[in-house]
């Protein structure tokens, strides 16, 4: 190992007591490769197995907690006890070479296409269409439906425990249902679940409490609970960094293991105020300090970028695209073979890198998202 990279391989212990062997996690990546009924396919399992053994923990693609929350065609399910054997296969595929397995759980809300839920109308905090061209206007959830979803997050957590996962990540980002309740853009309610900032925080916090109570009741061993968050929204009115600070203050009072940002670039500044160039990652780190470990993420390709984050006090870094392109990224850094890290890929590499067809088709359709070369 090159000596300067030693900090990357220092073990880290979360508040729950779980220790990972280095400071790298695999970010959740949309594999879109499950069966229609929500059970995982062999292709999906092979994708995780190929990337096990490097990063200290792998966070899965998002698993829906209710069928009406299935926002990804080919997404896998945590909505029924029938899915526990399927989930167990995912956990084992990740843990086989020593990485910890974290199940990301979510509900898509208004980001769900009717096509993925049998033609039903998606639901959300309010009947406000998401700011995406392909979405439809959702139906406002009833109080009973809200209560059911909160319980569904707890039940999905129980299934993760029974399936042998090491933790769950609550997906409160990327314009999905939890964020929709927090956002003044998508939450126009006037009851206990909307209106003021305090009321808009109630649903995210209720989900967190549901998950934590489930862990307390069912987990016999240490079990991680993380929370993913999008710090700002471009929509008007939208979530501001000041709103997020208030939510983070509340989350810091809970027994969470980490906060995982969802931002496209590690050192990205405000998307609402272009004059505010200080990285959101550092502003959030300053706000929460050491109350909750923070995971930085976003276009990280080289170990020097990981070092830079660690040197600024960020304890953990998640890699996404870098681990698609180079499944042995961590191992190569550890062996001092940084120059051998794959920096691009082609369609001919897909099979060797164990990338499922739907995943490849989805990501390669986004111009510039992956460094894809045209091999002759």
Residues classed as catalytic: 176
Q: Write out the H or E segment, with its range, that includes residue 228.
A: strand 224-229
Q: Cα 169 from chain centroid?
A: 6
- Structure tokens that stand for 312 in this block: 């600024």
- Structure tokens that stand for 360 in this block: 């490849």
Q: How far apart are CA 214 and CA 59, in angstroms?
A: 20
- Cβ-in-10-Å burial (0-12, 13-18, 19+) of 46 comes to middle
Q: How far apart are CA 69 and CA 71, in angstroms?
A: 6
Closest CA to 59 of 29, 79, 89: 29
Reduce the DSSP state of residue 205 to 3 states and report it. helix
Q: Cα 364 from chain centroid?
A: 20
**What number of residues does the chain have?**
376
CA dihedral 126, 130, 134, 139 (to 10 degrees): 0
8 A C-beta contact, residue 10 and residue 23: yes
8 A C-beta contact, residue 126 and residue 142: no
Q: How far apart are CA 57 and CA 86, in angstroms?
A: 19
Please enumerate in sequence order all residues whose Cβ is within 8 A of that of 38, keeping only pairs 6 or more positions apart, or say none. Answer: 64, 67, 70, 75, 76, 77, 79, 80, 83, 86
Reduce the DSSP state of residue 257 to 3 states and report it. coil
Please enumerate in sequence order all residues whose Cβ is within 8 A of that of 368, keeping only pairs 6 or more positions apart, or say none. Answer: none
Question: For 333, how many CA atoms within 13 A lie in the half-sphere containing its CB?
Answer: 24
Q: How far apart are CA 137 and CA 308, in angstroms?
A: 43
């Amino acid at each position: 190992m090159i000596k300067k990279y030693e900090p990357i391989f220092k073990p880290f212990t979360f508040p729950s007591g779980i220790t990972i062997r280095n400071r790298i996690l695999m970010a959740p990546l949309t594999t879109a490769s499950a069966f229609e009924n929500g059970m995982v396919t062999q292709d999906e399992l092979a994708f995780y197995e190929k990337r096990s053994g490097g990063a200290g923990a792998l966070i899965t693609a998002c698993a829906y907690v209710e069928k009406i929350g299935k926002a990804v065609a080919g997404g896998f399910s945590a909505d029924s006890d029938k899915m526990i054997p399927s989930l167990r296969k995912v956990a084992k595929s990740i843990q086989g070479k020593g990485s910890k397995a974290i199940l990301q759980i979510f509900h898509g809300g208004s980001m769900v296409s009717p096509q993925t839920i049998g033609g039903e109308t998606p639901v959300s905090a309010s009947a406000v269409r998401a700011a995406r061209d392909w979405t439809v206007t959702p139906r406002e959830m009833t109080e009973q439906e809200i209560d059911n979803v909160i319980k569904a997050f707890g039940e999905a957590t129980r299934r993760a425990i029974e399936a042998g996962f090491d933790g769950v990540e609550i997906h409160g980002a990327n314009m999905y249902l939890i964020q929709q309740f927090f956002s003044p853009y998508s939450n126009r309610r006037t009851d206990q679940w909307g209106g003021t900032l305090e009321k808009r925080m109630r649903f995210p916090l209720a989900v967190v409490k549901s998950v934590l109570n489930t862990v307390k009741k069912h987990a016999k061993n240490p079990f991680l609970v993380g929370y993913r968050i999008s710090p700002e929204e471009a929509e008007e009115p939208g979530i501001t960094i000041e709103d997020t600070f208030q939510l983070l203050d509340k989350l810091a009072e809970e027994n969470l293991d980490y906060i995982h940002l969802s931002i496209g670039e590690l050192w990205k500044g405000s998307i609402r105020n272009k004059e505010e160039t200080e990285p959101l990652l550092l502003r959030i780190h300053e706000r929460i300090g050491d109350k909750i470990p923070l995971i930085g993420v976003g276009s990280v390709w080289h170990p020097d970028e990981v070092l830079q984050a660690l040197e600024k006090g960020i304890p953990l870094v998640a890699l996404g695209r870098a681990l698609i392109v180079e499944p042995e990224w961590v191992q190569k850094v550890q062996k001092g073979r940084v120059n051998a890290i794959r920096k691009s890929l082609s369609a001919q590499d897909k099979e060797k890198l164990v990338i499922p067809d739907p995943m490849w088709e989805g990501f390669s359709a986004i111009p510039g998202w992956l460094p894809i070369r045209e091999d002759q």
